[in-house]
């Protein structure tokens, strides 16, 4: 695979925007069916250009105009902002205070750096296949809650290109949500509280909310292989001290005495969990108080950490799907939730690997053409370049997401016209 060198971006980006970026589906997504007039025109885009030149408040008359601008400026990174009261590129001409963000997708930004207190394999910007499981768990927990608890439908999950994931919730009603409603949603989805100085960040008491119960059962699926085997959180006295600090004192002492006799993290966890389950059984029979320290440990070590400011602010910018990550060269590709457990961030195509694949496909085709095949007209071949690269399945996922929204929109229109017919 062609190694990515940031220095090659000026050469690679024009190829990327001409032949690989899925302009068609992208424009259909952000146009939202043209139901609201000028919706696309009022959307803020921000570009990061060469030498970290950052331009905010870009806006375009149509997806085609955006495409032309991308061809012209070849941004290193694209961010998407809100839909404003006035065209963002004319915000200077509007009366002060009148220019306001009005709508945006509800977005979530989950970043591996926020898990540094519970990862032992890597820290800060580094990730590996072991800790990536934390992102898998985060997507599973948040997505389940969005669908089952909040009744939301159109979610696009995207790999950020480096060490995290983003979610774009695109339902019509949600895009109109106020900052207060967005903050309340993040609050509902947050269980891990407190900063570096807080030892115990999850405290549960009865009655246990169904959201917590369901989140625990998601974590349970991954906990043994991720936390007990992968991170080995009960592997040594130093590491189990961190876990036992979250357990009530009377049980802690007993476990501390027993842990050295057990073979490994898995067996030590069995012991700890057994103790907690016993308190719950006894409590159910009317003896003593139930203890949920096993659940609290599982949640503190695995529950998603959300960046509230990104989700709350309607005007907040977030890196666009299919933007390049300027440091890793990886494309922000949609995640297939059906195959989430198999997703490997290190196998996501980079801009260099894709351009390399294009070259290879082109060379193979030229040989075929030479053998008497009728070549496709040039512009058509260019526009669908991604189809001959490993970007194709990701573009297909994105198209399916957009098509799903379009189908829902048509259904809604039909329903409304039926209703009108009844009156
Ligand atoms: Zn790691």
- pLDDT surpassing 90 at residue 423: no
- pLDDT surpassing 80 at residue 381: no
- pLDDT surpassing 70 at residue 325: yes
Length of the chain: 423
User: Edge-to-edge strands of the sheet including 106-111?
Assistant: 106-111, 164-169, 155-159
Q: If 0-12 CB within 10 Å is exposed, 13-18 middle and 19+ buried, where does residue 14 land? A: middle
What confidence tier does 370 reach under pLDDT thresholds 50, 70, 90?
low
Q: How far is the CA of 420 from the centre of ligand 1 (A)?
A: 56
Q: What pLDDT, on a 0 to 100 scale, did the predictor assign at position 385?
A: 86
Per residue in 110-140, pLDDT (tens digit) is 999 999 989 989 988 899 999 999 999 999 9
Q: What pLDDT, on a 0 to 100 scale, did the predictor assign at position 124?
A: 84
Q: What pLDDT, on a 0 to 100 scale, did the predictor assign at position 212?
A: 98
376 or 80, higher pLDDT = 80
Cα separation, 221 vs 205, whole angstroms: 23
**Range 5-15 average pLDDT:** 96
Is 172 among the catalytic positions?
Answer: no
What confidence tier does 336 reach under pLDDT thresholds 50, 70, 90?
very high
Q: How far is the CA of 230 from the centre of ligand 1 (A)?
A: 9
DSSP 8-state secondary structure symbol assigned to residue 320? P
Q: How far is the CA of 48 from the centre of ligand 1 (A)?
A: 29
- pLDDT surpassing 80 at residue 421: no
- Classify 203 as helix, strand or coil: coil
Per residue in 277-304, pLDDT (tens digit) is 999 999 999 999 999 999 999 999 999 9
Predicted structure pTM score:
0.94
Q: What pLDDT, on a 0 to 100 scale, did the predictor assign at position 59?
A: 98
CA 8 to chain centre: 27
29 or 412, higher pLDDT = 29
Q: How far is the CA of 31 from the centre of ligand 1 (A)?
A: 38
b/e map of 321-342 (b: 16 or more CB within 10 Å)? bbbbbbebbbbbbbbeeeebee
Is 294 among the catalytic positions?
Answer: no
Outline which parts of the chain fall under CATH 3.90.920.10: 6-188+307-418
Task: Determine the CATH number of domain 6-188+307-418.
Answer: 3.90.920.10
Q: What pLDDT, on a 0 to 100 scale, did the predictor assign at position 383?
A: 59
Q: How far is the CA of 117 from the centre of ligand 1 (A)?
A: 12
37 or 64, higher pLDDT = 64
**Range 363-389 average pLDDT:** 66
What confidence tier does 382 reach under pLDDT thresholds 50, 70, 90?
low
Q: Which of 105, 111, 143, 357 is catalytic?
A: 111
- pLDDT surpassing 90 at residue 196: no
Among 69, 106, 118, residue whose Cα is nearest residue 89: 69
Q: Which of 109, 143, 171, 357 is catalytic?
A: 109
Average pLDDT, the chain: 93
Q: How far is the CA of 293 from the centre of ligand 1 (A)?
A: 25
Q: What pLDDT, on a 0 to 100 scale, did the predictor assign at position 305?
A: 96
Is 44 among the catalytic positions?
Answer: yes
Q: What pLDDT, on a 0 to 100 scale, did the predictor assign at position 413?
A: 85
Q: What pLDDT, on a 0 to 100 scale, did the predictor assign at position 105?
A: 98
């Amino acid at each position: 695979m062609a190694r990515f060198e940031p220095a090659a971006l000026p050469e690679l980006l024009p190829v990327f925007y001409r032949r690989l970026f899925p302009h068609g589906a992208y424009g259909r997504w952000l146009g939202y069916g043209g139901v609201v007039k000028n919706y696309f025109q009022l959307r803020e885009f921000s570009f990061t250009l060469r030498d970290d030149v950052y331009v905010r408040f870009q806006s375009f008359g149509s997806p085609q105009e955006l495409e032309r601008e991308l061809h012209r400026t070849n941004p290193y990174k694209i961010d998407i902002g809100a839909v404003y009261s006035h065209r963002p590129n004319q915000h200077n001409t509007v009366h002060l205070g009148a220019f306001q963000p009005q709508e945006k997708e509800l977005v979530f930004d989950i970043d591996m750096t926020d898990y540094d207190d519970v990862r032992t394999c890597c820290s800060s910007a580094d990730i590996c296949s072991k800790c990536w499981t934390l992102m898998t768990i985060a997507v599973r927990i948040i997505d389940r809650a969005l669908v089952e608890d909040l009744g939301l439908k159109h979610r696009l999950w995207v790999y950020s290109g480096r060490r995290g994931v983003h979610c774009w919730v695109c339902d019509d009603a949600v895009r109109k949500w106020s900052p207060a409603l967005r903050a309340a949603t993040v609050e509902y989805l947050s269980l891990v509280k407190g900063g570096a100085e807080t030892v115990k960040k999850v405290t549960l008491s009865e009655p246990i909310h169904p959201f917590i119960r369901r989140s625990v059962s998601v974590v349970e699926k991954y906990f043994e292989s991720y936390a007990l085997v992968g991170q080995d959180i009960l592997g040594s006295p130093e590491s189990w001290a961190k876990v036992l600090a979250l357990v009530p004192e009377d049980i802690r002492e007993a476990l501390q005495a027993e842990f050295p006799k057990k073979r490994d993290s898995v067996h030590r966890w069995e012991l700890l969990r057994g103790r907690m389950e016993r308190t719950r059984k006894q409590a159910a029979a009317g003896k003593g108080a139930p203890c949920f320290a096993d659940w609290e440990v599982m949640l503190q070590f695995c529950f998603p950490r959300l960046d509230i400011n990104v989700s709350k602010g309607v005007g907040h910018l977030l890196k666009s799907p299919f933007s390049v990550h300027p440091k890793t060269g990886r494309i922000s590709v949609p995640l297939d939730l059906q195959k989430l457990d198999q997703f490997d961030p290190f196998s996501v195509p980079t801009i260099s690997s894709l351009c390399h694949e294009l070259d290879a496909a082109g060379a193979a085709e030229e040989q075929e053409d030479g053998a008497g095949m009728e070549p496709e007209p040039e512009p058509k071949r260019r526009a669908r370049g991604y189809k001959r690269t490993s970007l194709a399945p990701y573009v297909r996922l994105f198209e399916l997401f957009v098509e799903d929204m379009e189908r829902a929109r048509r259904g809604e229109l039909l329903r409304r016209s039926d209703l009108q017919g009844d009156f």
